[in-house]
Structure 1
């Protein structure tokens, strides 16, 4: 049986599912795209090419393997975008949650079936039909569980609203040992600079007691203020609107000391190094055109 356990976002990573870009189906139609940043690049003729994304993901995989991480890849589902494995399942403690995701993405689940088949059935949870959750909105953080979501009004209005209140309530019921802190996110189906597609597009813990935050991603000021108070302002790295758009908060922690980041994030990477982190830089800006980056393309299975 496959061992799974995730307590937080940064403990030393042992195994992970990294998405694949092969046979992803090419540039979709505007109607088929389901986030504003992809639509922007479809319109301007700059949607990423398959070979470029394969190259970027291969570079990321090599970094993970160099740090001793066991890397699983989804089996190929032809003409299906399988890059962002974060959203289609997630591990909290010793449970693997199979959520209900956007209808346009359900074929992605076929690619990780061989992985979930190796997990003890008693550790598999299937979210109820009335819930919607995507893994980019879910962040275990020791005694807490951070969750990004949309209220019913926004959830029914925006295609980019991916986690609903029923999903938050489900997680609260399944993990009573954790305090669930749920944050409403700002959404836009048309402007990627006004859209926090998932929680990890505007916030992510790093190290043992620090975080990267974009204030404008949070619909309620008190949610942003909670995080500032929780981590402490001196342990926060604030990113601006353009940095959020470039996905600066979507780095990926291999351990409390090692962070994988996009090589173009010069300001962020300099700050991380100043704070003592080892920064593994890699190119991921083609994948970023689809409103996801390093965290989005990973599904951690086991951390120390």
Structure 2
């Protein structure tokens, strides 16, 4: 049996699900894309090729091997995009919560059954149907759970709105001893630079007390200010609109000292090293064309 344990984003990682780019399927049609950035690349003829994405993900698998992390991979489903394992489920404390995701993506959940079945029944949570939630919006941070959401009446019009207030309330009920703090995110179906698909597309904690953040990703300025106050201005790395578009906040922590980052994130990686972090650089620019990066492709199961 797997004894799950996730209290935050940065404690030493011991086990993780890493998605797969194998048998990823043909380039999707515009109308089948889940986000504006993918649409952009389909139209431009620059949508990523399967082989390039496989190589990128193997580079991450190598880093995990170097740090002695147990890695689970999804069972391969023919012609199915299974890269973003963070979307399908997430772990808080000892519980795994299945995401209620876009109906077209149900098959992706079946592909991690081998992991799901190793978890005690009482720790497998399936939320009620009206609770929409994806792992990219959910961040356990010790006594807090940060959740990105969108509560506008036009929620159904946005394919980019993935987590609703019903889910926020349900997660608060599951973890009554924690403070659940929700953040309204800016959504756009058509402009990737104005769209925070998930909370981890505009914010992520690193180390013990630092964070990467993009102000425009937040709809409500006071909620953004709350985070800045919480971490302290001196501990925050503000990213630009272009850096958000390239997914600079979507890196991944192996521990409080070690971070996996994209090799082109020059400004961010320099700052991280100045703060004393070890930065393991990998190529991930092709995967980022689908509006997701390192945090999106990983689902941590156990941290110390």
For 2:127 and 2:18, how far apart are their aligned partners in 1?
Answer: 23
Deviation at 1:99, TM superposition (A): 2.1
The equivalent residue for 2:233 is: 233
Residue 143 in structure 1 maps to residue 143 in structure 2: yes
The equivalent residue for 2:122 is: 122
Paired residues for 1:1-304 under 5 Å: 1-304=1-304
Deviation at 1:145, TM superposition (A): 0.2
For 1:179 and 1:202, how far apart are their aligned partners in 2?
Answer: 21
For 1:93 and 1:154, how far apart are their aligned partners in 2?
Answer: 33
Contact 1:148–1:199 (Cα < 8 Å) also in 2: yes
Deviation at 1:107, TM superposition (A): 1.3
Structure 1 consecutive aligned stretches of length 4 or more whose deviation exceeds 6 Å: none
For 1:179 and 1:256, how far apart are their aligned partners in 2?
Answer: 22
Contact 1:22–1:50 (Cα < 8 Å) also in 2: yes
Deviation at 1:64, TM superposition (A): 0.9
For 2:205 and 2:157, how far apart are their aligned partners in 1?
Answer: 29
Deviation at 1:78, TM superposition (A): 1.1
Contact 1:154–1:161 (Cα < 8 Å) also in 2: no
For 2:236 and 2:129, how far apart are their aligned partners in 1?
Answer: 37
Q: Which runs of 5+ in 2 are unaligned?
A: none
Deviates most, 50-59 or 153-162: 153-162
- TM value normalised by structure 2: 0.99
- Aligned to 1:38, the other structure's residue is in SS state helix
For 1:279 and 1:173, how far apart are their aligned partners in 2?
Answer: 37
Contact 1:77–1:110 (Cα < 8 Å) also in 2: no
Deviation at 1:154, TM superposition (A): 3.7
Deviation at 1:98, TM superposition (A): 1.0
Contact 1:202–1:214 (Cα < 8 Å) also in 2: yes
Deviation at 1:184, TM superposition (A): 0.4
- Aligned to 1:153, the other structure's residue is in SS state coil
- Aligned to 1:225, the other structure's residue is in SS state helix
**Structure 1 pair 109/25, CA: closer, same or farther in 2 (3 Å)?**
same
For 1:140 and 1:200, how far apart are their aligned partners in 2?
Answer: 12
For 2:224 and 2:211, how far apart are their aligned partners in 1?
Answer: 12
- Aligned to 1:169, the other structure's residue is in SS state helix
- TM value normalised by structure 1: 0.99
For 2:208 and 2:280, how far apart are their aligned partners in 1?
Answer: 18
Contact 1:258–1:279 (Cα < 8 Å) also in 2: yes
Deviation at 1:122, TM superposition (A): 1.2
Q: Which runs of 5+ in 1 are unaligned?
A: none
Deviates most, 197-206 or 110-119: 110-119
Q: Considering only aligned residues, what root-mean-square deviation do their CA atoms show, in Å?
A: 0.6
- Aligned to 1:62, the other structure's residue is in SS state helix
C-alpha offsets along residues 54-93 of structure 1, whole Å, 9 cap, x if unaligned?
0000001000111010010000111110000001000000
C-alpha offsets along residues 34-69 of structure 1, whole Å, 9 cap, x if unaligned?
100000000000000000000000001000111010
Deviation at 1:114, TM superposition (A): 1.2
